[in-house]
A and B are shown apart, each in its own frame.
Chain A
Amino acid sequence: MRGAKSAKWVAGAIVVALAATACGGGDDSAGDDMNKGKADPNGIVTAQLSEPQNPLQPANAKESQGSRVLRTIFAGLVDYEPGTGKLEYVNAESVTPNKDSSEWTVKLKAGWKFHDGTPVTAKSYVDSWNWSANIKNNQTNSSWFADIVGFEDVHPEKGDPKSDKMSGLKVVDDNTFTIKLTQPVSYFAYKLGYDVWAPLPEAFFKDPKGFGEKPVGNGPYKFVSWEHNKLIKVRKFAGYKGPNVAKNGGIDFKNYTTADAAYSDLRSDNVDWIEQVPTTALTNYKTDLGDRAIDEPYSAVQSIVPAFYTKQFKDIDPKVIQGLSMAIDRQTITKTVLQGTRTPADSYVAPGVLGYKKGALGDIVKFDPAQAKKLIKDNGGVPGNKIQIQYNADQDHKPWVDAVCNSIRKSTGVECTGDPKPTFQADLDARDKDQVKSMYRGGWVLDYPVNSNFMRDLYGSTAAGNTSGYSNKEFDKLSSEADKASSIDETVKLYQNAEQLLAKDMPAIPLWFYKVNSGQSKNILGKIEYGQDGDPIFDTIQVKQK
């Protein structure tokens, strides 16, 4: 009898604990109105950040974390207008191409200074690019300079560099320099918005490694301190001359071990912005945070990609792949399994990018089981009648892979299973070595907001981002024609035509576009604005006066 009694007491305790859990949430959203109050121009924003994987050098931030900090410290030549992807000049007065867009002239706004007081000149840019492109300096983004004449001298495929300067870069005067490209690229100015193209002060070249710990930039914020794995501080730079002067006093980037830890700090207003709501809180974060919940699209796409070197897909009729695409119920999966964190894809190009055309893929991405079954059956079927989708199990991919497989199996009868690899590294390894058995998960976040970035850089026969073995001569020809077009509008249009070609040939099955699911604290005035890469535009954030 005693045993039974104790068991009851235990049960009672659990009920109490559950009740305590259940009454949580709710009252948080009733907090003060986020649009009321005055802005404090010296207020400090605290934001989530994981430890950057590399020193803070402009061409060394492959991952989003280092890049988030660098973007506040440096101001590049150009930037993109959020939402439209239109080009805006920042440090540049103008960036103009010659007739065939193979040589570009950059004029700088005069009188800019680095945070250490030294002037920003044409030389600051040219030296920076030459250094970053040099293979010896181990910058992870060094290949971004590959368009420039003389790149292979500083970055040879084998052996030591022949020179430490790219011959395509010429300083004309203090505020002017020219860039010669190996072939015409009409949208080259758009590429210049990326972090790697930042200028570097002379102090950098004396001690690049030390600089990576204590960067000196020319941007709206100046670097203050970096406590590893804990905190990076940047403060407003009073001498900043650019258009995007900071509306707050600075940013404290705080490190969190898990998304859960960050989320609970957001709820208690210990951090003002977090990267992503943890999966465990996705169902209730909108009630937890009310108006302060953030649900914004950004320019990234997830797809499943057939490995065209496999026997299965080598000689497949693209119509079969179209059939597979139509067998996936994107609407339902994004709503249920993915809990509204993505929106169904209707194009190879993500929205917010120049040249995105709503519904570009038409019926191919519409869920139509009958038509899907027919397309697959009439065009030879899937060899083996079985596909596998490779993904990395160290991230949250399993639920949607299973859902996609389920959808395909139910609507077409093609057997479909997930093929998990333990880590992202192992997943990449299999892709690089052409060992994918059937299909794999592919993801792409924009580098620059032009549709070519979502096509040529992924599906061009020789593109380094093309790991599926896809090759289409007609597409290659079209894209090189588009790159040589006389204007950016023309380029974008030609790439839109190329997209229709891809729709017929199906190098990949686009699934959905990404959304930021995040939140902001009660200390922030108004809603935080977002850039196209899903990161906040930090200089526009306003902090409430206390």
Chain B
Amino acid sequence: MGRYAARRLLQMIPIFIGTTLLIFLMVHILPGDPVRAIYGDKAPDPAQIAQIKREYGFDKPVLEQYFHYMLNLLKGDFGSNLAGRPVADLMAEAFPVTLRLTLLAITIEIIIGVGLGAWAGLRAGKAADTGVLVFTLTVISIPVFVLGFIARFIFADELGWLPPNVQDSTSYSQLFLPAFVLAMLSMAYVARLTRTTFAENLRADYIRTALAKGLPRRRIIGVHLLRNSLIPVVTFVGTDVGGFIGGAVITEGIFNIQGVGNLLYRAIQTSEGSTVTGVVTVLVLVILLINLLIDLLYAVLDPRIRYA
């Protein structure tokens, strides 16, 4: 297992270089000039623009810029954005916020999703199963921004139970509503996945054996059935963590959360190359690590899976 993990970690290096280069080139070919854009409709000042570009090294060929960027990255320097703020600072502000939101959302997603799925799976074909099916279908078919607006409208604007926006991103009670909205869609998928595997595995040989052995029902469901049914769920939740960290743009926007999605969105809008590359670089690392973690988790869940 140790060798396997080491090999996987080594594989990350070329993937890392490849993705950063791609992102760097893509940002570079975005139409328009971010320095010129500062001037907007107003009269641009070519001499000043040239000077600012020189300062940021934008006047050099793109590969040379990339080389310098990587060199600085090795020293732990992510560069700075056009306002002169270090990208590392920007990320240090945004990542904890998104991480908190993600953790909360994943927790909600797992508890409700697995719970609903198990409940429905154990009662496959009965009214409860249909109820869950209808509920999950409804949730899946509503786009997340509709869900967000409706949730805010009902719970904040009308009932006044919760603040409409996140004022303090360290407060879990304020993050609850956005986390819930963020979790809804995945929660529905998790419920469906859990339900199917539960219903399927209920008929599996090992369950029949366990029943025949006379094991208590609780142990059969809680240990044998749940553990075996979780593999596809873990895969799904794992990829979701990556998705939440990198792409909660819509939810973050609706609820005024200054997280990674929002940072990335603004950076792309203003063609802030250094910010985009920095954030995506970190995201690539995070997703690679999460994938490794998921693969290692398989072995924990199913002892038959071994890595060498």
Hey, which bits of chain A sit against chain B, CB under 8 A? 2, 6, 9-10, 13, 17, 20-21, 23-24, 52-55, 62-63, 135-136, 138-140, 142-143, 155-158, 209, 212, 228-230, 255-258, 260-262, 264-265, 267-268, 270, 394, 421-429, 432, 442-445, 447, 457, 463-465
A239 to B130, CA, bound (A): 71
Which residues in B have their C-beta under 8 angstroms from that of A260? Answer: 149, 254
Q: B153 to A143, Cβ gap below 8 A?
A: no
Contacting B164 at CB < 8 Å: which of A63, A229, A270?
A270
Q: C-beta contact mask, B34-60 vs A, less than 8 Å → 1, else 0?
A: 101111111111111001100100000
A-B interface contact total, Cβ < 8 Å: 159
Given contacts A52-B83, A157-B47, contact A428 B36 (CB under 8 A): yes
Task: Name the residue of chain B whose CB is nearest to the CB of A230.
Answer: B258
A to B CB contacts below 8 Å, 23 in the list: A6-B134, A24-B157, A54-B82, A63-B38, A135-B48, A228-B90, A257-B253, A257-B257, A261-B164, A261-B165, A270-B163, A270-B167, A424-B32, A424-B37, A424-B40, A425-B32, A425-B271, A428-B36, A428-B40, A443-B41, A463-B43, A465-B42, A465-B43
* B135: min CB distance to chain A, Å: 9
- What is the minimal beta-carbon distance from A260 to any residue of chain B, in angstroms? 7
Determine how close the nearest CB of chain B comes to the CB of A533; give it in whole angstroms: 13
Residue numbers in B under 8 Å from A463 (CB-CB) = 43
Taking a contact as CB atoms under 8 Å apart, the answer to whether A140 and B38 are in contact is: yes
Measured between beta carbons, the chain A residues less than 8 angstroms from B84 are 54-55, 209, 212
Give the B interface residue count (CB, 8 A): 59
B46 touches A62 (CB 8 A): no
B110 CB–A CB distance under 8 Å? no
Pairs of residues from A and B, 8 with the lowest C-beta to C-beta distance, nearest first: A425-B32, A464-B43, A426-B31, A465-B43, A261-B256, A143-B45, A264-B164, A426-B32
Write the B220-231 contact mask toward A (1 if CB under 8 angstroms, else 0).
Answer: 000000000000
State A300–B230 Cα separation when bound (angstroms). 60
B93 contacts the other chain (CB 8 A)? yes
Cα of A443 to Cα of B157 in the assembled complex, Å: 36
- Residue in B154, B167, B255, B269 whose beta carbon sits within 8 Å of that of A394 in the complex: B269
A140 touches B134 (CB 8 A): no
Chain A: CB-nearest residue to B141: A10
Beyond the given A10-B138, A158-B47, please list 13 additional residue pairs across the A-B interface where CB-CB is below 8 A: A2-B130, A6-B130, A52-B83, A143-B48, A209-B84, A212-B84, A229-B258, A257-B257, A260-B149, A264-B152, A425-B31, A425-B36, A426-B31
A6–B134 Cα gap in the complex (Å)? 7
Known: A55-B83, A256-B256, A425-B31. A10 touches B134 (CB 8 A): yes
Please report the C-alpha to C-alpha distance between residue A228 and residue B153 in the assembled complex, in whole angstroms.
Answer: 28
B55 to chain A: which residues have CB within 8 Å? 138
Contact A140 B37 (CB under 8 A): no
Bound form: Cα–Cα A85–B98 in Å? 46
Nearest opposing residue in chain A for B149, CB measure: A260
